[in-house]
Structure 1
Amino acid sequence: MGKFSGRRALVTGAGAGLGRGVALKLAQMGAEVFALSKTEANLSSLKEECPSITTITIDLTNWEATREAVKKITPIHMLVNNAGINIILPFLDATPESFDLMFNLNVKAVMNVSQIVASDLITRQLKGSIVSISSQSGQRALKGRTVYCSTKGALDMMTKVMALELGPKGIRVNNVSPTVVMTKMGRAGYSDPSRANSMLARIPQGKFAEVEDVVNAVVYLLSDESDMVNGHMLPVDGGFLAA
């Protein structure tokens, strides 16, 4: 019997990177895991790696299709809103298209999925935990990330309001706010030593986060050990936000 035996978990953006790591860890810990992504090939390889995981191919920017897909798998006791996108553009070059895409996926889709999961839990009078993947960018401005930082700031505030409203119903809502994470995308984005070194210089521990570092924080916030933690942004940043 695993720590999360008898609990059902949904992880969005679960095909690769951090989301994949979370999905695999939760399955390992006994949860019944539903992995959602728009990339079917990634989900197929995830299913091969862990056959117990149920995969769902959906584009989270499609509001109605997402609602129907999530309704079919309730109840969900543990929700991890991981899906997101980061388009790097200086403020003067930011476009309406990049704004809409990032806010639709990074913020609006979180609201959509969380509404379905939370409403169902309340109807069934069940407790639950929702964890969204935010970023240090939600609390600290970074050049070239006007829209991305704005989406994470919005996500942080949404989480606080959700915690206020859902806490009395037995549903805790928190965020994990990592620094650069060494996923495949993270390694590619910071392969340039000059770019990597400028960021590392701002992190007291002098290193980027590994996927496991963030997964461990997510597991903590989903678990009963964090029963009195609600409405918080947990930095996994090596001290970046302390400086």
Structure 2
Amino acid sequence: MYEEHPALLDGAVLWTRALRRAEPVRPVLPDGCMDLIWADGSLLVAGPDTTAYVPGETATRYAGIRFAPGDAPGILGVPAHELRDRRVALAELWGGEARRLGERIAEAPDPAAALEDLALRRAAGAPAPDPLLRAVVARLDAGRPVAETADAVGLGARQLHRRSLEAFGYGPKTLARILRIQRALTLVRAGVPYAAAALRAGCADQAHLARETRALAGMTLSAYTASLVVAGGAGAAGASAKSETPLPSGSVTTA
């Protein structure tokens, strides 16, 4: 069973997952986020994905903090592009401290709350989230063009690309593409017809949405919708598919 709610850390989401036997493994869609994950006593980081990630099950209990786009690098102490399309043991970044923290969280009555406390303490000692980068995310998520966004925040194209690599793991064009497919599939899950969802999300047409879904989600639009129904019953297409993800990696939507 998967549950999530807003974390005490600004812009973050706290989630938990208890894996059921014989539960199907579903790919996780990219969304511009990064997660700090506790999995049966071990801590790991899910970097920013550029394509769907298919998890391999090694644990039965999970808790995670999904950071707002661009916030994790300052807290974790590593540029996002170094973790792009990777799942990395936190010990590789923090050494033996990570192992001790993982054990401490495992001993806590509420591992999710202990993980959240860890994230809050690390964030308190990290630089504050960059309002410029949050403005970039907000504009791209609203469907604004990359060049217009760069002008609006006062950055040149190269500056925006460099800062995006460090904060999001990829350039602004890739981030815009990922946010657009997330908007579109959120509408699809709400029952909006494909063609209307495509146009409302900023795609040129339904064919454009279909190509992006196949490229980023690794499946067709019809297969994506069918996976929601299989996962949660007839009404699942109108609910978040994230609840069916065995190992969330920062995505708010999964296929």
Higher RCO, Cα 8 Å, sep 6+: 2
Query: TM-score, normalised on structure 1?
Result: 0.29
Q: Choose 1 or 2 for highest CA Rg.
A: 2
Query: TM-score, normalised on structure 2?
Result: 0.28
